Amino acid sequence: MASPRLKYLSLGVLVFQTTSLVLTMRYSRTLQAEGPRYLASSAVVVAEVMKILTCVLLVFKEHSYSMRALNSVLRQEIIHKPVETLKLAIPSGIYTLQNNLLYVALSNLDAATYQVTYQLKILTTALFSVSMLGRRLGVYQWLSLLILMAGVALVQWPSDSASEKEAPSAGSQFVGLAAVLVACFSSGFAGVYFEKILKESKQSVWVRNIQLGMFGLVFGLFGMMAYDGERVRESGMFQGYNMVTWTVVALQALGGLVIAAVIKYADNILKGFATSLSIILSTLISYFLLQDFDPTSVFFLGAVLVIVATFLYGYEGKPSPNPSRA
């Protein structure tokens, strides 16, 4: 059992990572700055490089800072096991697509709406867990998924005030919503697929993340040159970068690794607290600081239902030896 101090530290880290990534990404995509805006495809590539380097350092640390041991592990686990390494190409490609979609979503949706809607990944993860891992869900979990869908539907419910402000924003709202929904499905599938691979092998999770990062880097570079190749050739892949951009890249690269490191101390209930606090903080900061969000009573009702669903989903999942990575 983890000590209460570690549990609350885990809670704080989860809340900070989830909230800060969404808010800084939203801020960076709406910031009015001189010159061209940074390329989202470039940020995804740089994040993959950061993730690979971080994981290599963690494997280096695991083997008592021995270069010989590090070289041996990487060669044995990656080069000498090509089939095992290739298995990671599928989730890596999907994660790369998902990371690009999150930039699209937060370029078109406010942070609060994005945060609540993105909780649909709980639904997709649960459904893929049932179909791919043979996991059985309890009554409370199925009920929570129904409440979750109702909550997200209410959050996306069009309000009179929104329609009176700007008619053209409906198109961008649809693009943002579509990006979040595709990201939810990709997150659910890739997460369960990765969990299945981890269960079938005894490799270090950091080695697996290096393999993911390698494919992610290749897919990311291909995507960057396919969609933004002309702009990269004109102004370079680091055009428009500033401190906010580097913060977003670092949070995206290190966020998943931080969660992987602390999740063993945080049970499903604590994870629910982290999600709920993150939604509340995102809503407050979007309203008071970013000033790009005008909450309605329907939004608040939907957000409350999503928070309730998050807690309810973890209620029966707690005794399970292998909780799903929602």
Q: What pLDDT, on a 0 to 100 scale, did the predictor assign at position 110?
A: 87
Rounded Cα distance, 39 and 237, in Å: 7
In a domain, 158, yes or no: yes
Mark whether 73 and 148 lie in a shared domain. no
Question: Cα–chain-centroid distance for residue 167?
Answer: 30
Mark whether 17 and 91 lie in a shared domain. yes
Mark whether 153 and 280 lie in a shared domain. yes
Contact criterion met (CB below 8 Å) for 190 and 93: no
In a domain, 79, yes or no: yes
Three-state secondary structure readout of 94-129: HHHHHHHHHHHHHHHCCHHHHHHHHHHHHHHHHHHH
Mapped onto helix, strand or coil, the DSSP state of residue 166 is coil
In a domain, 323, yes or no: no
Question: Residue 151: which domain range?
Answer: 110-167+266-315
**What is the secondary structure of 222-274 as a DSSP string?**
HHHHHHHHHHHHHH-TTTT--HHHHHHHHHHHHHHHHHHHHGGG--HHHHHHH
Mark whether 105 and 7 lie in a shared domain. yes
pTM of the prediction? 0.82
In a domain, 182, yes or no: no
Mark whether 77 and 87 lie in a shared domain. yes
List all residues 6 or more positions away from 75 whose beta carbon is below 8 Å from its beta carbon.
none
In a domain, 47, yes or no: yes
Beta strands in the chain (DSSP E): none
Mark whether 162 and 214 lie in a shared domain. no
Show the tokens assigned to 147. 């409440």
List all residues 6 or more positions away from 66 whose beta carbon is below 8 Å from its beta carbon.
60
Contact criterion met (CB below 8 Å) for 24 and 244: yes
Mark whether 249 and 276 lie in a shared domain. no
Mapped onto helix, strand or coil, the DSSP state of residue 38 is coil
Mark whether 216 and 276 lie in a shared domain. no
Contact criterion met (CB below 8 Å) for 282 and 115: yes
In a domain, 153, yes or no: yes
Q: What residues of the chain score a pLDDT lower than 70?
A: 1-3, 158-171, 256, 259-273, 315-326
Mark whether 17 and 143 lie in a shared domain. no
Range 238-241 contact pairs with CB under 8 angstroms and sequence separation of 24 or more: 238/38, 238/42, 239/35, 239/36, 239/38, 239/39, 239/42, 240/33, 240/35, 240/36, 240/37, 240/38, 240/39, 241/38
In a domain, 11, yes or no: yes
In a domain, 194, yes or no: no
Q: Which of 263, 278, 302 is the last residue of a domain?
A: 263
Mark whether 6 and 151 lie in a shared domain. no
> By CB neighbour count within 10 A (0-12 exposed, 13-18 middle, 19+ buried), where does 228 fall?
middle
Show the tokens assigned to 247. 């913060």
Q: What pLDDT, on a 0 to 100 scale, did the predictor assign at position 158?
A: 67
Rounded Cα distance, 98 and 189, in Å: 11
Q: What pLDDT, on a 0 to 100 scale, did the predictor assign at position 166?
A: 46
Mark whether 15 and 63 lie in a shared domain. yes
Show the tokens assigned to 50. 């950061």
How many Cα atoms within 13 Å fall on the side-chain side of residue 214? Answer: 16
Q: Give the total number of structural domains in the chain.
A: 2
Mark whether 69 and 116 lie in a shared domain. no
